[in-house]
Structure 1
Amino acid sequence: MLPLNKEQEAQLGLELATKRQEHADLDAAIHTLSQSHMADRMLIQRLKKRKLALKDRIVQLENILLPDIIA
């Protein structure tokens, strides 16, 4: 993989911060809905699925921005 220029690195860093915030927001929403006695199980499942997809993207971005250097 080619090294990132500063603009690409900044763009990916911004995306990473956004995805982390969205992940935290979903976590809070899932927790709140789970505590509710009127919770829609299908909605909670969709939110959990979205949260997992976000986590996958976060890991992908972290690997791009902070690659393991194994010599």
Structure 2
Amino acid sequence: MDSTHVTALQQKHQGLETMLKDEMNRPSPDAARIQALKKQKLRIKEEIAHH
């Protein structure tokens, strides 16, 4: 696996983490959005782990 691809995945994972924290800190967080962000993070984490 190309290390630039892994780096890009790690950056995307971090971006999703930031979005997740921002959403959770809102006065009325959107539970569906939080769940979707968590699923995206998990898929990226699994892809990174497989390489």
**Sequence identity percentage:** 25
2:33 corresponds to 1:57: no
TM-score, scaled relative to structure 1 = 0.67
CA distance in 2 between counterparts of 1:28 and 1:17 reads: 17
Residue 20 of structure 2 corresponds to which residue in structure 1?
A: 30
SS of alignment partner, residue 50 of structure 2 = helix
- The amino acid across from 2:15 in the alignment is D
What root-mean-square deviation, in Å, do the aligned CA atoms of Structure 1 and Structure 2 show?
1.0
Cα shift readout 1:12-62 (whole Å, capped 9, x = no counterpart) = 21110000000001001101100101321101100000000000001112x
Larger-Rg structure? 1
Listed as ranges, the gaps of 5+ residues in structure 1 are: 1-8, 62-71
TM-score, scaled relative to structure 2 = 0.90
Which residues of 2 match residues 1-71 of structure 1 at below 5 A? Answer: 9=1, 12-61=2-51
